[in-house]
Amino acid sequence: ISSLAIAFMMVISMSIMVHSFRQTVIVWIDQTLRADLFVRVAGGRDIDYQHTLPSESVEKLKSLKGIAAVDQFRALDITHNDLPVVLATGDFSVLSQYGNLVIKTGPPAQKLAHVMVNQNRAMVSEAFSLKHKVSVGDNIELQTPSGAAQMEVAAIYFDYSRGRGYIILDRTTFLNYYRETAINSFVIYLDDKTQLDSTRKEILKTLKDHRLIIRSNSELKQQVLEVFDKTFAITYSLEIIAILVAVLGLFNTLVSLILERKREIGILRFIG
């Protein structure tokens, strides 16, 4: 009975942990994934930054009817203090107006454009700040094709996508030092949410020379949760094994008690 109670307590505590973590992810993606369409180049994994498409082609989308804004994303795998990190870039003028990053330390997301655009400043993820002991106001050095560049940390934001950490630059700052206009993906904000399917078709038509994967907001959120559930599927197996072991232990204990008292039970039955 004691082993069964311990097993049930383990199952309950593990379920609470996984459910709590899942709810954190749900809140995080609801707060951060605000765009209506998420587009990336087909090929490789979702976090494979080797596949790019020209920024000039994406710029044409801004003139399409119904599109309010386009935020272009580019990322590079680099090292900082001999540890791998991801250097990423986005359009903070769009992010401040339409996005909603969850900021841990620093100005709110709506004011990031004033401190990031055309400035030698960077925003880092919480994982990066903890690994490299970086706070708002500190300087980090980046080895760029144009030479070493000092970037002041303007904000620290919550991110659960990659444990190695992110360094985020505004696209204007990135182009000044790296001179690479190609992008990995982009997001689109619509004026009218009901025009989702027609806008998707227009994007494929405009960028017909490129193989693209387009996901809507709801589709991407669903995929994120599917990945999460697959990652923690092993915990359900552990819970079942714990219960089976506990039940087997209880069964063996009862059987052994019966066998030990077999003669005593026989005498009691004989005398009625």
Angstrom distances, CA of residue 171 to CA of 58, 122, 151, 175: 14, 11, 14, 6
For residue 99, report the phi and psi dihedrals to the nearest 5 degrees.
Answer: -85, -175
Closest CA to 47 of 83, 77, 80: 77
Q: What is the dihedral of CA 40, 41, 43, 44, to 10 degrees?
A: -50
| Sign of the dihedral through C-alpha 173, 176, 182, 188 | positive
Q: Residue 48: what pLDDT?
A: 63
Q: Residue 131: what pLDDT?
A: 92
Q: Residue 46: what pLDDT?
A: 55
Instruction: Tell me the pTM.
Output: 0.73
pLDDT tens, N- to C-terminus, the chain (272 residues):
777 777 778 888 888 888 888 888 888 888 778 888 999 887 766 556 778 888 888 888 888 888 888 999 999 989 998 899 999 999 999 988 888 788 999 998 889 999 999 999 999 999 999 999 999 999 999 999 888 999 999 999 988 878 889 999 999 999 999 888 889 889 999 988 888 888 888 888 888 888 888 999 888 888 888 888 888 888 878 878 878 888 888 888 888 888 888 888 888 888 98
Q: Residue 142: what pLDDT?
A: 92
